[in-house]
Amino acid sequence: MGLIFSAIITLIIVQTAPLHARFTADTNAGPQKIHQHSTPRIGGVAIFISMVMIGFLGVFDANPILPVVIGAAIPVFLGGLLEDVKGRVSPRLRLLLAIISGACFVYLSGFTITRVSFAPMDAMLAVPVIAAGFTIFTITLFANAVNIIDGLNGLSIGTSVLIAGAVATVAGGVGDIELMTISMVFAASVLGVVLFNFPKGKIFVGDGGAYFMGAFVAFLLIMLPERNEAVSPFMSLLLVIYPSYELVRSTIRRLIASDSQALQPDQKHLHSLVYQYYVQRDKEGFLNSNARAGLTMLIFPLFTSLWAFVSISSAEYALVGILIFVAGYEILSRQFYDVSKKSKDNIVG
């Protein structure tokens, strides 16, 4: 039902685009934009409404944590949605709203990160204020991390679905049926938008959708080990490592570069370099360069989601998976950067 509701709402948005395009359409203006046509960017509305509708069909009663996590994500979702419609919400304000969503989650759910399987840190997290602050920081980081990879058809939503699917599977395996259920509801609601986003990009989730997905996935991954002692916190870290690493790496790169600002978008992310690589090959088929690049980048969350199943209770296995990811990311990043640089040099020459 989540898939059906989301797909219907998305279809309505797409079909009525001419009526609301002046407010909701995304143009190709901006250094991070790599699409060529004006496209609705409010797919996040379909995800949010679908989840609320499913909740009122009885899921809220059977799974009382669901309305809590949906409600906690509202501030950052509305901030992103306002940016999608108005385009005047500063990065700092959206950052503040992500912090507020994190605080709402801690207050409403009562969950905080109390263990990370590292003794000195666990001792610090035994202090409630530190645990709350660290939890809010984690949620804020991941909400922004999903937004930063929201640049290719299918990438941010595909990543969110893969992570939610992994959470649902692990939660079901350890007997946490409530967390399994809300993870499946979330994944189904996102998949309804995927049908129209990939491969042709008829709609984007926008900042509202990206922030909502990021915050919601963060909530799931915080609750999973906290509700189930058999699950290693490092498994949660493994599942979020791709978007988080992209965010941290990009922020450091921007701070170092004299011509860039940490909160401003650019076209130097790995997914941007992969897209440029496919554009240079200029071989359009059923999958355009945007979709092919998005599909290529999904190798990372697919790997971490699959590796998570061998590291459910093992911090060591999770760390090995994280190291493999970092090595693979850096190798591909170097290769695609070199290809992009050579192409630019050839054009200048």
pLDDT of the residue at 28: 54
- Identify the three-state secondary structure at position 39: strand
CA 139 to chain centre: 11
Q: Kindly state the average pLDDT of the residues 244-253.
A: 89
pLDDT at 278: 86
Query: 3-state DSSP call for residue 256?
Result: helix
What is the rounded CA–CA span in Å between residue 164 and residue 131? Answer: 24
Strand partners, 39: 26
CB atoms within 10 A of CB 35: 16
The dihedral formed by the CA atoms of 275, 278, 282 and 283, expressed in degrees to the nearest 10:
-120
Please say if the pLDDT value at position 133 is more than 70.
yes
Q: What average pLDDT does the segment 294-317 reach? A: 94
Residues composing the chain: 349
Q: What is the pLDDT of residue 348?
A: 37
Instruction: Give the 3-state secondary structure of residue 42.
Output: coil
pLDDT band at 89 (very low <50, low <70, confident <90, very high): confident
Annotated binding site for Mg(2+): 147, 207
pLDDT digits (tens, 9 = 90+) for 148-161: 999 899 999 999 99
Residue 70 has pLDDT above 70, yes or no: yes
Residue 239 has pLDDT above 80, yes or no: yes
> Around Cβ 109, how many Cβ atoms within 10 Å?
18
- 215-219, 289-293, 345-349: least confidently modelled range: 345-349
The pLDDT score that the predictor gives to residue 347 is: 40
Classify each residue of 257-296 as buried b or exposed e, where b means 16 or more C-beta atoms within 10 Å of its C-beta: eeebeeeebbbbbbbbbbbbbbbeeeeeeebbbbbbbbbb
pLDDT (tens digit, 9 = 90+) per residue, 171-211? 999 999 999 999 999 999 999 999 999 988 899 999 999 99
Task: Specify the pTM.
Answer: 0.90
Predicted local confidence at residue 285, as pLDDT: 61
Percent of the chain with pLDDT over 90: 70
Q: Using an 8 Å Cβ cutoff, are 18 and 206 in contact?
A: no
Where is mean pLDDT largest: 28-32, 33-37, 113-117, 134-138? 134-138
Tokens standing for residue 43: 């797919």
pLDDT band at residue 120, thresholds of 50, 70 and 90? very high
pLDDT of residue 345: 47
Cα 297 off chain centre by: 13
